[in-house]
Amino acid sequence: GAPGTWSAWGACSTTCGDGDQTRTRACDNPAPANGGSECNPSDLTDTQSCNDGECPVNGGLGTWSAWGACSTTCGDGDQTRTRACDNPAPANGGSECNPSDLTETQSCNDGECPVNGGPGLWSAWGACSTTCGDGDQTRTRACDNPAPANGGSECNPSDLTETQSCNDGECPVNGGPGTWSAWGACSTTC
What's the chain's average pLDDT? 94
Give the whole-angstrom CA distance, residue 66 versus residue 90.
Answer: 24
Mean pLDDT of 10-24: 94
- pLDDT the model gives residue 25: 93
**Sign of the torsion angle spanned by Cα atoms 107, 112, 114, 120:** positive
pLDDT class of 163 with cuts at 50, 70, 90: very high
Residue 14 has pLDDT above 90, yes or no: yes
| Alpha-helix residue ranges (DSSP H) falling in 28-179 | none
- pLDDT the model gives residue 2: 84
- 135 in Cβ contact with 129 (< 8 Å): yes
- pLDDT the model gives residue 151: 93
- Global pTM reads 0.54
Mean pLDDT of 74-89: 97
Tell me: the pLDDT tens digits for 1-12? 788 899 999 999
Tell me: the pLDDT tens digits for 21-77? 999 999 998 888 888 888 898 989 999 999 988 999 999 999 999 999 999 999 999
C-alpha distances in Å from residue 117, one per residue of 47, 110, 153: 89, 21, 6
Tell me: the pLDDT tens digits for 90-105? 999 999 999 999 999 9
- pLDDT the model gives residue 103: 98
Q: Which range has the top average pLDDT, 125-129, 175-179, 182-186?
A: 125-129
Q: Which of 56, 49, 53 is nearest to 19 (CA)?
A: 49
- Beta-carbon neighbour count of residue 132 at 10 Å? 12
Element (H, E) at 109: strand 103-109
- pLDDT the model gives residue 189: 82
